[in-house]
Structures are given as C-alpha cells and as structure tokens.
A = this chain, B = another copy of it.
C-alpha cells in the first residue's frame, strides 16, 4: 500500500510529518474534515479540487492507519461510513492554520477566506476550541 509516503525514516520531525501528511491530497482531506466538518466519503469527493475516488480511498485508509481519523458504519444507513477526527488529527489544526496564514501573505483571498484568516489571526485558540467542541458534540456512534 504505502500510499502517501515512502518513509524518509530518519529521526527528523519534519520528515516524520511529511511521511504522515506530506502529499498533495492528505492535508486537503483533513482540511475538509476540520474546516468544513465533512464526515462522509461522498462529501469528501465533492472537494473543489476534484480528488479521484481511488486516491481518496487510499488516503482515508492511510489516515486511519496513522491514527488521524477513525471509521465507523453509519447506524442510520448501513451502506454508509462515517469518518471522524481523532485527537492526533485535530492536533494538526495549527499546521493548517499556519499554511493559511502563509498563503494569505502571498496571494489574495476571497472575502469568506479573509474572515477565516481574521479569525485565525485574532483568536486561533478560540477557533481551535470551537472545532474541538463541534467534534465532541457529534461523536462517532
């Protein structure tokens, strides 16, 4: 399998991070789960970047294997699954926020995203708490 990561296998924490989420798609999947609260395969497929179905399946497996997300059957619909963020996945929020801040400094944002950026700049701890609360309020069944 080994998707999203031939391992660099050194002790470097930066390399370790890249082994876990350092490809073109993994962080976008996490972005959709963290920022947009997506929990289903079908929702994640609709990402505006247009991820391919096999790539999405690979990344979800990888993220589950790495312990950043969990997968359970939807009790309301047994052909469906629900994906939820673990603490390890949620703790990537600061990384995503710093990427947003970096991008914002070097290319223009839409109005909606400017609001998000402002929130990150002014109260990132609060935003992190809010997202954690949202997850805690909707635990996977």
Interface residues of A (CB under 8 A from B): 5-6, 8-18, 22-24, 27-28, 31, 48-49, 88, 91-92, 94-107, 109-110, 113, 117
Of B14, B28, B91, which one neighbours A96 at CB under 8 angstroms?
B14
A13 touches B95 (CB 8 A): no
Q: Would A106 and B88 count as touching, CB distance under 8 A?
A: yes
Name the distance in Å between A53's Cβ and chain B's nearest Cβ.
Answer: 17
User: Once the chains are docked, how many angstroms separate the CA of A99 from the CA of B91?
Assistant: 10
Q: Which residue of B lies closest to A31 (CB)?
A: B14
Known interface pairs A102-B91, A104-B13, A110-B11. Does A24 touch B22 (Cβ–Cβ under 8 Å)? Answer: yes
CB distance from A91 to the nearest CB of B (A): 6
